[in-house]
Structure 1
Amino acid sequence: MTIDTDRRSFLARAAALAAAPTIASLVGNAMLSSPAAAAGATDLPDFAPVPPSALGPALNGSGYYVGRIERNLYWVTNGTYIAAFLTTRDGVVLLDAPPALGGNIQRAIDEVTRPAGLPSKVTHLIYSHHHSDHIGASALFGKRVTRIGHTETRRLLKRDADPDKPAPDETFDDHRTLRIGGERIELHWLGANHTPDNIFIHLPGHRALMLVDVLMPGWAPFANLNLSEDVQGALKAPAQALKFPWAHFIGGHMGRLGTRRDLEVDQAYTADLEAEIRTALAVVDPAPYFARYADNPWAAVKTYLDEVVAVAIAPVVRKYTGVLAAADVFADSSAFVLAQSLRLDLGVGQVVQD
């Protein structure tokens, strides 16, 4: 084995070890350590290479990157999760607190504020929505923090009663303007999308918009269209986002910021996927599946929908491989939930019997 090969092997192992905490935040520590998972690791599938355009900046030795977005607005990432923060004369306004970033959030803040002689204490924490993977490190910042979120976020967090993510102290329904430390932040709720409480965080003085879990710049959607609870709302959200004036997009995931072009590509992807699903629903004949599994409707429906999904995603995966990272990874699950939304929400393919 050559020295160069040794080095590549070492770097690959190091990258895998560095990624483990981040992966654990996505799938859970138990799944990472299970014997069954280890046993199946010898026969893993290949996927298309990740295009360089999907990747963000290199992480530091502590496993994070912090950078300026515009003026006194910054972002911090571990390559999979993103938070943002606004430094002000009165303290720091934090936008989300992913547990995968955890203590590195404060380290990133200190890295920015201390050389500038600014206060490093987080005084306000804005929740994008109630999901633990984005706000589960909230408790790290103590009780003397004003937490702000949507009314539904408060209801859901009160229901869940997780001490790691205290419910918001201040809430709003449709719109609220915040003025903190001389800075202006606009909070908007424009209807359910990824979750019922997911909001648009607009920073007009910094030409930035934060909308979490609706799209990941440079990447095809995560499973089930980013685990969207309201598929039709999630499909409309990029168009809603583009109505705001901004130049920098904070999507909450992966290792880079987004542009308006990223949202347009995402819109094209989901439009193509929907068009192909509509075509597949029209051309795939369900009769053979129901004939084969006449006494087992679940098997008939499953195999029929599997074929609908396979027919629909093939041209989409071909078109977007090399354009969006992981276009071939979760396309099947996203196509499935979109097909069900077309059927159940919009009535596509439904026939009223005589």
Structure 2
Amino acid sequence: MALWLVCAGAAAAAETVSLIKIDGAIGPATASYISRSIEESRAKNAQCLIIQLNTPGGLLDSTQTIVQSFLGSTEPVVVYVAPTGSTATSAGCFITIAATVAAMAPATTIGAAHPVTIGGNPTGGEEKPDQTMKQKLENFSVSYIEAIAARRHRNVEWAKSAVRESASISAEKALELKVVDLIATDLPDLLKRLNGRVVDGKTLKTAGAEISEIKMSPSERVFQKLWRPEVMFILMLIAMYGIIGELTTPGAILPGVVGAIALILALYLAAILPVNATGLALIALALMLFVFDIYAPTHGVLTIGGIISFLIGSLMLFNRADPLFRLSLGYIIPATLITALF
């Protein structure tokens, strides 16, 4: 009898819930982190994986990866928009609706899922895409969120309006419209409300469960910091200066090596971030003009043309109307001046 009580106590104490926190834009590192966390949570035999979410949006291809991992997971995934004041905007709306259980803290919001930019498009995201492309992207996003909402038995009509009309609602309204499943003030309250809920045939036992947080790996943390427009721009500058430095001082080797590495990394980020192809081409033209001026002196004509091309290309490189992926003038102006002096 005593042995049975010990075993029962150990089993009760063994109940765990996995937790990860996403605070910021959704990108490749986020998608990798979430997919890995789902697998780790399943391997630990956790009751569920809770994703505490606060995001202004992100890349569409990374969002699709996350949604696919949710829908294909045997591990219950709970998306919890928290803490108070947080938001699940744009990509965050898709992710929340795709969760097995969707929860929000009081005074949080969800919605505004109208697509702004595709992201991860090798041909580059145009600042002013033609109307046909905008309509295609909107239609795809509407059908995509409609399929997700229908799969999770959530309010399909509101989900479609979040894309078409950029509708945004509070946590209380989201619960009333059956966009989310529950409202919880904090994590302990969330665990209480999840306890006993039947999810995909599994009854969750979360009351008093131990929370086991899964941290980002070092590589994921580094990549999360790197996939930013500012980082890509700086890498392009290093590549440009390295190539010019190698050509002006043949045999130096180091500038050429550093420039080549920076160029490869910049091109990799260009394939992920919503880059304008025209802006990229203008910056490449600027580099060519600088190089030509080294071997065919034109009294600065080519250099001036290169500076103008560099400035215009930098301004066009990212959509300045996009709040997530725009390049500040605080980077562009100093970079242009340094390039002119270089």
Q: TM-score normalized by structure 1?
A: 0.28
- Structure 1 or 2: larger strand share? 1
Q: TM-score normalized by structure 2?
A: 0.28
- Structure 1 or 2: larger helix share? 2
